[in-house]
Structure 1
Amino acid sequence: MRRENAMKNLLLFCIAIFMSASVFALDLQQAKSQGLVGETNKGYIAVVTSSASSDVKKLVSQVNSQRKSRYKKIAVSHGLSEVEVGKLAAKKALEKTQNGHYYQTPSGKWNKK
């Protein structure tokens, strides 16, 4: 009985995480669609406009924190540096960037795709 409850709780926890991640991703997509944030050339996101709200800045911080954690794990498991992983991620992010969204060129300039 205890094992069943533990499994149910774990399943509910996983569902909650999945649902919150979906909402979080939607917020990131909205910020990109509104031209508030863009993909940097280092594999992170950054504020594109100088008038970003505290909510947008918080979103950037949260997304980048999650990415940094993932990059660390990938770097360790593949014998790379976090910077190398970030640059590889930036290339993939650029490929996936939708038309009308911002990305950062290698020189640091913001462009709209």
Structure 2
Amino acid sequence: MTRVLLFLLSFFIAFSAFALNLQQAKDQGLVGEANTGLIAPITARPSQEVRSLVAEVNKRRTNTFKRISVSHGLTVKEVGHIAHKKAIEKTSSGNYYQDSSGQWIKK
């Protein structure tokens, strides 16, 4: 039983080491900074791994936007737009972001 548990634990640790992170996805042109302050897939048919990453990151960002909106008397949408402007400034050369019309631009 102990061997099985150790095997499963090592499998999950190894699997998480191969999981795609946000910066890797940006560097590979899989996701970009959407004009809402969230991230979005660049392609029309992203992989399940990319969809999962987008959902995870956007959930955290949305929760942060909600906290900020309450503490600063802004709407979540306003916080998202402010976050988008900051994200564009921080976007690395070669990564994507959306302009206000929704077009993807490579920085």
Match of residue 31 from structure 1: 25
Match of residue 86 from structure 1: 80
Match of residue 48 from structure 1: 42
**Matched residue type, 2:39:** I
**Matched residue type, 1:67:** R
- CA distance in 2: counterparts of 1:81 and 1:91, whole angstroms: 16
Q: Alignment RMSD, CA only?
A: 1.2
**Matched residue type, 2:40:** A
CA deviation profile, 1:23-44 (whole Å, cap 9, x unmatched):
8xx7100000000000011100
**Matched residue type, 1:41:** N
* 2:85 alignment partner, SS class: helix
- CA distance in 2: counterparts of 1:55 and 1:75, whole angstroms: 30
* 1:94 alignment partner, SS class: helix
- CA distance in 1: counterparts of 2:89 and 2:98, whole angstroms: 12
After superposing on structure 2, the runs of 4+ consecutive aligned residues of structure 1 that deviate more than 6 Å are: none
TM-score, length basis structure 1 = 0.76
**Matched residue type, 1:43:** G
Percent identical: 56
Higher helix share: 1
Q: Give 2:102's match in structure 1, choosing from 85, 91, 108.
A: 108
Question: Which structure 2 residue ranges, 5 or more long, are not aligned?
Answer: 1-16
TM-score, length basis structure 2 = 0.80
Alignment coverage as a number of residue pairs: 89
Match of residue 72 from structure 1: 66
Structure 1 residue 51: deviation in Å? 3.2
Structure 1 residue 50: deviation in Å? 2.1
Structure 1 residue 49: deviation in Å? 1.1
